[in-house]
Amino acid sequence: MKPKILVFSGSTRKGSYNKMLAALVAKHLTIANADVTTISLADYPLPIYDGDLEDETGIPENAFKLRKLIETHHGIFIASPEYNSSITPLLKNTLDWISRIQLPEEEPLQLFHTSVYAVGGASPGAHGSLRGLMHLRTIMEVSLGCLVLPEMISINFAGKSFDENGDLTKDHQIKRLHKLIERFVSEASHVKLQDN
Protein backbone atom coordinates (compact mmCIF):
# COMPACT_ATOMS: atom_id res chain seq x y z
CA MET A 1 0.00 0.00 0.00
CA LYS A 2 1.25 3.51 -0.85
CA PRO A 3 2.04 5.59 2.26
CA LYS A 4 -0.08 8.74 2.49
CA ILE A 5 2.00 11.85 3.09
CA LEU A 6 0.78 15.34 3.97
CA VAL A 7 2.93 18.29 2.85
CA PHE A 8 2.65 21.94 3.83
CA SER A 9 4.69 25.11 4.27
CA GLY A 10 4.93 27.47 7.22
CA SER A 11 4.79 30.36 4.75
CA THR A 12 1.80 31.05 2.53
CA ARG A 13 3.49 34.01 0.84
CA LYS A 14 3.16 34.41 -2.94
CA GLY A 15 6.52 33.29 -4.32
CA SER A 16 7.48 31.61 -1.04
CA TYR A 17 10.69 29.57 -1.24
CA ASN A 18 9.27 27.21 1.34
CA LYS A 19 6.18 26.61 -0.79
CA MET A 20 8.65 25.80 -3.59
CA LEU A 21 10.45 23.37 -1.32
CA ALA A 22 7.15 21.79 -0.25
CA ALA A 23 6.15 21.39 -3.91
CA LEU A 24 9.52 19.84 -4.76
CA VAL A 25 9.31 17.38 -1.87
CA ALA A 26 5.74 16.52 -2.93
CA LYS A 27 6.94 15.88 -6.48
CA HIS A 28 9.74 13.57 -5.34
CA LEU A 29 7.49 11.75 -2.87
CA THR A 30 5.04 11.06 -5.69
CA ILE A 31 7.87 9.72 -7.87
CA ALA A 32 8.85 7.51 -4.91
CA ASN A 33 5.33 6.04 -4.95
CA ALA A 34 3.76 7.94 -2.05
CA ASP A 35 0.20 9.23 -2.14
CA VAL A 36 0.73 12.96 -1.48
CA THR A 37 -1.69 15.59 -0.18
CA THR A 38 -0.38 19.16 -0.38
CA ILE A 39 -2.26 21.82 1.55
CA SER A 40 -1.84 25.55 2.15
CA LEU A 41 -2.31 26.84 5.68
CA ALA A 42 -4.00 29.84 4.03
CA ASP A 43 -7.00 27.53 3.55
CA TYR A 44 -7.14 26.86 7.31
CA PRO A 45 -7.03 30.33 8.89
CA LEU A 46 -6.89 30.40 12.68
CA PRO A 47 -7.02 33.35 15.10
CA ILE A 48 -3.93 33.96 17.18
CA TYR A 49 -4.11 31.58 20.12
CA ASP A 50 -5.67 33.15 23.17
CA GLY A 51 -6.73 31.20 26.24
CA ASP A 52 -9.75 33.43 26.85
CA LEU A 53 -10.89 32.97 23.25
CA GLU A 54 -10.56 29.21 23.64
CA ASP A 55 -12.64 29.33 26.85
CA GLU A 56 -15.28 31.50 25.22
CA THR A 57 -15.66 29.98 21.77
CA GLY A 58 -13.72 26.72 21.87
CA ILE A 59 -11.12 25.38 19.47
CA PRO A 60 -11.75 26.57 15.88
CA GLU A 61 -13.09 24.15 13.30
CA ASN A 62 -9.99 24.59 11.13
CA ALA A 63 -7.80 23.16 13.89
CA PHE A 64 -10.02 20.03 13.87
CA LYS A 65 -9.76 19.84 10.07
CA LEU A 66 -5.95 19.97 10.27
CA ARG A 67 -6.01 17.36 13.03
CA LYS A 68 -8.05 15.05 10.78
CA LEU A 69 -5.47 15.48 8.01
CA ILE A 70 -2.63 14.57 10.37
CA GLU A 71 -4.57 11.57 11.67
CA THR A 72 -5.13 10.19 8.20
CA HIS A 73 -1.57 10.49 6.86
CA HIS A 74 1.34 8.16 7.59
CA GLY A 75 3.88 10.93 7.11
CA ILE A 76 3.89 14.73 7.45
CA PHE A 77 6.44 17.01 5.78
CA ILE A 78 6.72 20.62 6.97
CA ALA A 79 8.75 23.24 5.10
CA SER A 80 9.58 26.01 7.55
CA PRO A 81 10.99 29.46 6.89
CA GLU A 82 13.24 31.08 9.49
CA TYR A 83 12.02 34.29 11.14
CA ASN A 84 14.55 35.78 13.55
CA SER A 85 16.17 32.36 13.90
CA SER A 86 12.89 30.65 14.77
CA ILE A 87 9.72 29.43 13.06
CA THR A 88 6.98 31.61 11.62
CA PRO A 89 4.09 32.79 13.80
CA LEU A 90 1.76 31.06 11.32
CA LEU A 91 3.35 27.68 11.88
CA LYS A 92 3.65 28.10 15.66
CA ASN A 93 0.06 29.26 15.98
CA THR A 94 -1.15 26.34 13.87
CA LEU A 95 0.74 23.80 15.98
CA ASP A 96 -0.41 25.49 19.20
CA TRP A 97 -4.10 25.30 18.26
CA ILE A 98 -3.90 21.69 17.11
CA SER A 99 -2.07 20.76 20.31
CA ARG A 100 -5.05 22.03 22.33
CA ILE A 101 -7.32 19.30 20.96
CA GLN A 102 -7.60 16.35 23.28
CA LEU A 103 -10.41 13.94 22.65
CA PRO A 104 -11.93 11.92 25.52
CA GLU A 105 -9.92 8.82 26.45
CA GLU A 106 -6.90 10.14 24.59
CA GLU A 107 -3.43 10.58 26.06
CA PRO A 108 -2.19 14.20 25.93
CA LEU A 109 -0.85 15.00 22.44
CA GLN A 110 -1.54 11.43 21.29
CA LEU A 111 -2.38 12.75 17.83
CA PHE A 112 1.28 13.51 17.19
CA HIS A 113 2.61 10.10 18.20
CA THR A 114 1.59 7.93 15.24
CA SER A 115 2.80 9.48 11.98
CA VAL A 116 6.42 10.04 11.03
CA TYR A 117 7.57 13.62 10.41
CA ALA A 118 10.23 15.24 8.24
CA VAL A 119 11.20 18.89 8.04
CA GLY A 120 13.05 21.20 5.70
CA GLY A 121 13.47 24.89 5.12
CA ALA A 122 14.68 27.48 2.65
CA SER A 123 15.88 31.04 3.00
CA PRO A 124 17.54 33.56 0.71
CA GLY A 125 20.40 33.99 3.20
CA ALA A 126 23.34 31.85 4.30
CA HIS A 127 21.52 30.00 7.09
CA GLY A 128 19.02 28.17 4.91
CA SER A 129 16.46 28.22 7.72
CA LEU A 130 18.63 25.83 9.72
CA ARG A 131 18.27 27.72 13.01
CA GLY A 132 14.49 27.84 12.55
CA LEU A 133 14.50 24.12 11.83
CA MET A 134 16.27 23.43 15.11
CA HIS A 135 13.48 25.29 16.93
CA LEU A 136 10.86 23.41 14.94
CA ARG A 137 12.55 20.13 15.81
CA THR A 138 12.57 21.05 19.50
CA ILE A 139 8.88 21.96 19.47
CA MET A 140 7.93 18.83 17.57
CA GLU A 141 10.15 16.30 19.32
CA VAL A 142 10.41 17.62 22.85
CA SER A 143 7.02 19.24 23.27
CA LEU A 144 4.65 17.39 20.96
CA GLY A 145 6.46 14.04 21.01
CA CYS A 146 6.68 13.64 17.23
CA LEU A 147 9.14 11.26 15.64
CA VAL A 148 11.10 13.63 13.35
CA LEU A 149 13.56 12.00 10.97
CA PRO A 150 17.19 13.10 11.34
CA GLU A 151 17.34 13.64 7.59
CA MET A 152 16.29 17.19 6.84
CA ILE A 153 16.88 19.59 4.04
CA SER A 154 18.09 23.15 4.39
CA ILE A 155 18.25 25.30 1.26
CA ASN A 156 20.38 28.42 1.67
CA PHE A 157 20.78 31.16 -0.94
CA ALA A 158 17.37 30.03 -2.16
CA GLY A 159 17.27 32.56 -4.99
CA LYS A 160 20.11 30.67 -6.65
CA SER A 161 19.36 27.18 -5.37
CA PHE A 162 16.08 26.67 -7.26
CA ASP A 163 15.93 26.79 -11.04
CA GLU A 164 12.95 28.13 -13.05
CA ASN A 165 11.18 24.75 -12.76
CA GLY A 166 11.51 24.70 -8.98
CA ASP A 167 14.20 21.99 -9.07
CA LEU A 168 17.38 22.24 -7.04
CA THR A 169 20.56 23.38 -8.74
CA LYS A 170 23.20 22.18 -6.28
CA ASP A 171 24.41 18.59 -6.13
CA HIS A 172 24.84 18.40 -2.36
CA GLN A 173 21.26 19.62 -1.83
CA ILE A 174 19.89 17.19 -4.43
CA LYS A 175 21.66 14.33 -2.62
CA ARG A 176 20.17 15.37 0.71
CA LEU A 177 16.71 15.58 -0.84
CA HIS A 178 16.99 12.06 -2.26
CA LYS A 179 18.21 10.71 1.08
CA LEU A 180 15.31 12.35 2.89
CA ILE A 181 12.71 11.07 0.40
CA GLU A 182 14.05 7.51 0.51
CA ARG A 183 14.05 7.27 4.32
CA PHE A 184 10.73 9.13 4.65
CA VAL A 185 8.80 6.85 2.30
CA SER A 186 10.36 3.78 3.90
CA GLU A 187 9.49 4.89 7.46
CA ALA A 188 6.01 6.08 6.50
CA SER A 189 5.30 2.66 4.96
CA HIS A 190 5.64 1.09 8.42
CA VAL A 191 3.25 3.49 10.19
CA LYS A 192 -0.06 1.96 11.27
CA LEU A 193 -2.78 4.60 11.43
CA GLN A 194 -5.55 4.42 14.03
CA ASP A 195 -8.97 3.50 12.63
CA ASN A 196 -10.88 6.67 11.83
Ligand X SMILES: Cc1cc2nc3c(=O)[nH]c(=O)nc-3n(C[C@H](O)[C@H](O)[C@H](O)COP(=O)(O)O)c2cc1C
Q: Contact with ligand X (CB under 6 A): which of 59, 124, 134, 135?
A: 124
Q: Is position 11 an interface residue for ligand X (rule: CB under 6 A)?
A: yes
User: Are 119 and 146 contacting, i.e. CB atoms less than 8 angstroms apart?
Assistant: no
User: What are the helix (H) ranges across the chain?
Assistant: 17-31, 51-57, 61-71, 89-99, 130-137, 158-161, 171-189
Query: Of 90 and 116, which CB lies nearer to ligand X in the complex structure?
Result: 90
CB of 120 to ligand X, least distance (A): 11
Query: Of 83 and 117, which CB lies nearer to ligand X in the complex structure?
Result: 83
How far apart are alpha carbons 124 and 85 in whole angstroms? 13
Q: Contact with ligand X (CB under 6 A): which of 41, 76, 82, 176?
A: 82
Residues 8, 14, 16, 19, CA torsion sign: positive
Instruction: Kindly report the number of other CB atoms within 10 A of residue 59's CB atom.
Output: 17
**Cβ-proximal residues to 10 (8 Å cutoff; 6+ apart), any chain:** 18, 41, 78, 79, 80, 81, 87, 88, 90, 91, 94, 136
Q: Contact with ligand X (CB under 6 A): which of 33, 40, 57, 85?
A: 85
How far apart are alpha carbons 147 and 65 in whole angstroms? 21
CB of 63 to ligand X, least distance (A): 22
Stretch that binds ligand X, among 43-51, 124-132, 167-175, 188-196 (CB under 6 A): 124-132
Site for ligand X in 125-154 (CB under 6 A): 125, 127
CB of 22 to ligand X, least distance (A): 9
Nearest to 1 by CA among 141, 192, 153, 131: 192
Q: Contact with ligand X (CB under 6 A): which of 4, 6, 18, 98?
A: 18
CB of 128 to ligand X, least distance (A): 7
Query: Of 84 and 196, which CB lies nearer to ligand X in the complex structure?
Result: 84
Q: Is position 17 an interface residue for ligand X (rule: CB under 6 A)?
A: yes
Residues found near ligand X in the complex (CB under 6 A): 11, 13, 16-18, 81-85, 123-125, 127
